[in-house]
Amino acid sequence: MKKSRRSFIKKAAVGAGLLSTANTWGKGSNFYISKMKREKFSWNDQIQVAVIGAGGMGVADANTASQIPGVKIVAACDLYQGRLDDAKERWGKDIYTTMDYKEILNRSDVDAVIIATPDHWHKQISVDALKAGKPAYCEKPMVHSVKEGMDVVNAQRSTGKTFQVGSQGMSSLGNEKAKQLLAEGAIGKLIYAEGFWARNSPVGAWQYAIPDDASEKTVDWKRYVSNTTDRPFDALRFFRWRNYLDYGTGVSGDLFVHLFSSLHFITNSKGPDKVMATGGLRYWKDGREVPDVLLGMFDYPECEEHPAFNLSLRVNFVDGTSGSTYLKLVGSEGAMDVKWREVVLRKNEAADPNSDPFLQGKSQESMASMAPKRKKMTGPKEYLYKCEDGYLGAHYDHFNNFLTGVRDNKMVAEDAVFGFRAAAPALLCNDSYFNNEIIYWDPNKMKLK
Ligand SMILES: NC(=O)c1ccc[n+]([C@@H]2O[C@H](COP(=O)([O-])OP(=O)(O)OC[C@H]3O[C@@H](n4cnc5c(N)ncnc54)[C@H](O)[C@@H]3O)[C@@H](O)[C@H]2O)c1
């Protein structure tokens, strides 16, 4: 039996509603562990998938997609010959390979495409894929600049094809548990959220290896820059594209966007209305155009979905001490640390009604208050939610959601509207940083104020 994502979420929410607060967090030890479970889906027929941009993430995406029963990789497109050769070795000599993504879109044996090119190609390939009738999974951030966002939204709306953006965390058990806990009131009223990505290595800071054979003979450079500034061949700009604004979107487009996707999924938010960023290039001075430390601050306005709250995000590529990534939601009654595989909920200490200094003074007037107070029993304050052993992970779940949408010809949670609302504040961080200004955004209308 096929289960749409919508019915799965609805079922989870109803199930959650049946549990009283006490049953959910009120029993057990001080560190209460609960297992998170994934429902099973079943599959009937084959979906043939092509990957456009068969580099690091394109390979990871295609490999994850092909773990799902009934999915076959049939074609690959890339602008570097080495990647096309690898694709044939990886997915079979008979797969179709090309440097022109339009050839992929014209093929009747391709049912859906994965778009995992550098960011400056996301919009055009997504729009062309949808218009060619191909459902598409496009890597994050959905677009390279805010002005491109509505083109993808409109292409999805006019074609009605399934389109999903690749912030896989939001399909995770961790994000779903956090969404459920927030809705149940586990942390009270949302006040503040924060998140970060910390890295401390050359590869983490995007200093990737350049293949020995990199040249205009093996790379279709002309095609690569055909939608941006025309420049002579530069292997750094091709293989380390994240460092340059013509192709990448800096640390905010690359990494903040994951935190926005998770936060918006958990809170049902449409996004902030005020964006401020600062930072600098502190350490990786290798000719890059983007900062390696970025701090973003965001105001989320009160709306139907949530109260007004503040968000603070940071990326630091020169930090080897803070762990790697983190998202925390703080409410009036507690806080949650949310990871894709784990949620830690901490409840606030209950305020002691006798701690009011005025009441204390009053009570000392009576002799009874001289007697020691009898101690009380307290309940658990910290709860750990962990995935069951064998959980296949967020990436698998995200592809499962996408391919379920493709089979049923339905929309998925991280569609073009969601993807744009997650990308926009991340991209506006760059505008705020480079132009040294506060940016006002209308998250409902998805345009600058
Ligand atoms: N969801 C995640 O966790 C995650 C992780 C890493 C990367 N990404 C995203 O995936 C995308 C790719 O990143 P990457 O790290 O794999 O980069 P990469 O450089 O390893 O791969 C990009 C590939 O795209 C190819 N390419 C460039 N222009 C093309 C075009 N017009 N047509 C076809 N192929 C083209 C390049 O030759 C290269 O092989 C980016 O948008 C990035 O933000 C997502």
Closest alpha carbon to 36 in 169, 172, 173: 173
Mean pLDDT for the stretch of residues 433-440: 98
Task: Compute the distance from residue 78 Cα to the ligand 1 centre, in Å.
Answer: 9
pLDDT band at 119 (very low <50, low <70, confident <90, very high): very high
Closest-lying ligand 1 atom to the alpha carbon of residue 57: 16
Closest-lying ligand 1 atom to the alpha carbon of residue 249: 43
pLDDT band at 18 (very low <50, low <70, confident <90, very high): very low
pLDDT of residue 360: 63
Closest-lying ligand 1 atom to the alpha carbon of residue 60: 16
Whole-number Å distance between alpha carbons of 299 and 271? 9
Query: Going by DSSP bridges, is the β-strand pair 342-347/382-387 parallel, antiparallel, or unpaired?
Result: antiparallel
pLDDT band at 375 (very low <50, low <70, confident <90, very high): confident
Does residue 363 register a pLDDT over 70? no
Task: Compute the distance from residue 273 Cα to the ligand 1 centre, in Å.
Answer: 30
Is the Cβ–Cβ distance between 174 and 261 less than 8 Å? Answer: no
Give the residue, out of 79, 170, 213, with the most ligand 1 atoms within 8 A of its beta carbon, to mutate for a pocket test. 79
Q: With 0-12 CB in 10 A as exposed, 13-18 as middle and 19+ as buried, what is 17?
A: exposed
Residue 403 pairs with which residues in a beta bridge? none
> Which range has the top average pLDDT, 28-37, 275-284, 346-355, 371-380?
275-284
Residues 6+ apart with CB under 8 A from 414: 164, 165, 166, 167, 170, 171, 261, 265, 398, 401, 422
Closest-lying ligand 1 atom to the alpha carbon of residue 239: 19
Mean pLDDT for the stretch of residues 231-247: 98
- State the average pLDDT for the chain: 90
Looking at ligand 1, which residue's alpha carbon is closest to its atom 40?
A: 118
Mean pLDDT for the stretch of residues 175-201: 97
Task: Compute the distance from residue 238 Cα to the ligand 1 centre, in Å.
Answer: 10
Does residue 23 register a pLDDT over 60? no
Count CB atoms within 10 A of the CB of residue 383. Answer: 24
Does residue 112 register a pLDDT over 90? yes
Closest-lying ligand 1 atom to the alpha carbon of residue 83: 39
Q: What is the DSSP letter of 93?
A: T
For the stretch 404-427, pLDDT in tens is 999 998 999 899 999 999 999 999
Does residue 397 register a pLDDT over 60? yes
pLDDT of residue 77: 98
Does residue 2 register a pLDDT over 80? no
Which protein residues touch ligand 1 with a CB less than 6 Å away? Answer: 52-58, 77-80, 83, 101, 116-119, 121, 139-140, 166, 168, 223-224, 254
pLDDT of residue 32: 72
Give the residue, out of 52, 78, 126, 226, with the most ligand 1 atoms within 8 A of its beta carbon, to mutate for a pocket test. 78
Mean pLDDT for the stretch of residues 296-316: 98
For the stretch 171-181, pLDDT in tens is 999 999 999 99
Q: Of the ranges 36-50, 153-167, 430-444, which one carries the lowest mean pLDDT score?
A: 36-50
DSSP state letters, 380-436: --EEEEEEPTT---HHHHHHHHHHHHHHHT---TT-HHHHHHHHHHHHHHHHHHHHT
DSSP SS3 for 249: coil
Give the residue, out of 57, 84, 105, with the most ligand 1 atoms within 8 A of its beta carbon, to mutate for a pocket test. 57
pLDDT band at 352 (very low <50, low <70, confident <90, very high): low
Does residue 27 register a pLDDT over 60? no
Higher pLDDT, 409 or 430: 430
Q: Of the ranges 356-360, 400-404, 427-431, which one carries the lowest mean pLDDT score?
A: 356-360
Does residue 258 register a pLDDT over 70? yes
Task: Compute the distance from residue 53 Cα to the ligand 1 centre, in Å.
Answer: 5
Is the Cβ–Cβ distance between 336 and 345 less than 8 Å? Answer: yes
Whole-number Å distance between alpha carbons of 153 and 163? 10
For the stretch 127-157, pLDDT in tens is 999 999 999 999 999 999 999 999 999 999 9
Global pTM? Answer: 0.90
Single-letter code of the amino acid located at 323: G
